Amino acid sequence: MALPFEILLGIYLGIITGIIPAVIAGVLGFVFKYFTGVTIPGLGVVVLALAIAGINGGLMALNDPTIRSSENATAIVTAILVVLMLALYAHAQGDKLGASVPRRVSFRKLRDRTLNTDVIELVGGRNEVKITVIGEIGDLEGYPPLSAADRAAIRDGEWRFPADLPVEELETRFADRLRSKLDLAAVSVELNANAEAVVSAAPPTGTISKRVPAGKRAVSISALVPTGLARGEQVRIVAEDVTVEGVLIAAKTGAKSKEDQPTSDPKPVVTDGGSEEVQAAPAAAVTTGGEGRVTVAVTPKEAKRLLGVDHGKVVVLSRGTHHEIELTTLLKRAGVRFKRVTVDAVGPLAGHTIGAVDVREVYDVAILAVKHKRWEVAPQGSQLLSAGDELYVIGAPDAIKTFTEAAA
Strand partners, 369: 377, 392
Assess whether 18 and 57 both reside in one domain: yes
Which amino acid type is present at position 389? Answer: D
Q: Residue 63's CB: how many other CB atoms inside 10 A?
A: 9
CA 148, 153, 154, 159: dihedral to nearest 10 degrees? 170
DSSP reduced 3-state for 375: strand
Assess whether 27 and 94 both reside in one domain: yes
For residue 305, is it within any domain?
A: yes
Helix axes 3-36, 73-100, angle to 10 degrees: 20
Question: Pairing mode, if any, of strands 274-280 and 390-395?
Answer: unpaired
Is residue 249 classed exposed, middle or buried when 0-12, 13-18 and 19+ CB atoms within 10 A define those classes?
buried
Element at 356 (helix H, strand E): helix 354-357
Assess whether 368 and 300 both reside in one domain: no
Assess whether 215 and 312 both reside in one domain: yes
- What pTM, to 2 d.p., does this model score? 0.33
Is residue 4 classed exposed, middle or buried when 0-12, 13-18 and 19+ CB atoms within 10 A define those classes?
exposed
In this prediction, residue 133 carries a pLDDT of 93
In this prediction, residue 323 carries a pLDDT of 60
For residue 341, is it within any domain?
A: yes
In this prediction, residue 251 carries a pLDDT of 83
- Listed residues 300, 316, 332: the one ending a domain: 316
- Listed residues 247, 281, 316: the one ending a domain: 316
Assess whether 18 and 84 both reside in one domain: yes
For residue 112, is it within any domain?
A: no
For residue 110, is it within any domain?
A: no
For residue 106, is it within any domain?
A: no
The alpha carbon of residue 237 and the mean position of all alpha carbons in its chain are separated, in whole angstroms, by: 40
Assess whether 347 and 283 both reside in one domain: no
- Listed residues 316, 349, 364: the one ending a domain: 316
The CATH number given to whatever domain includes residue 387 is 3.30.70.1450
For residue 140, is it within any domain?
A: yes
Give the whole-angstrom CA distance, residue 313 versus residue 144: 34
Assess whether 308 and 332 both reside in one domain: no
Show pLDDT as tens, one digit a residue, over the chain (408 residues): 577 777 777 787 778 777 887 888 888 888 877 777 777 777 777 677 767 666 444 444 554 566 556 666 777 777 777 877 887 888 788 877 777 765 554 444 444 556 777 788 876 667 888 999 999 999 888 778 888 888 999 999 889 888 888 888 888 889 988 988 887 888 999 988 888 999 999 887 655 666 677 888 888 888 888 877 777 788 898 887 888 898 888 888 764 433 334 433 434 333 343 333 333 333 345 677 788 888 889 998 888 888 888 888 888 887 655 566 666 666 776 778 888 888 888 778 888 888 888 888 888 888 888 988 888 888 888 888 888 888 888 888 888 888 888 877
For residue 390, is it within any domain?
A: yes
The CATH number given to whatever domain includes residue 148 is 3.10.20
Q: Of 152, 149, 144, 199, nearest to 174 (Cα)?
A: 199
Assess whether 84 and 155 both reside in one domain: no
Assess whether 198 and 221 both reside in one domain: no
CA 178, 183, 184, 187: dihedral to nearest 10 degrees? 30
Q: What is the full DSSP assignment across 231-262?
A: TT-EEEEEETTEEEEEEEEEEEE---SGGGS-
Assess whether 78 and 46 both reside in one domain: yes
Phi, psi of 346 (to 5 degrees): -100, 5
Strand partners, 131: 159
Assess whether 249 and 308 both reside in one domain: yes
For the chain, the domain total comes to 4
For residue 244, is it within any domain?
A: yes
Give the whole-angstrom CA distance, residue 307 versus residue 218: 10
Assess whether 306 and 347 both reside in one domain: no
Give the whole-angstrom CA distance, residue 336 versus residue 302: 46
In this prediction, residue 61 carries a pLDDT of 53
Domain that holds residue 384: 324-407
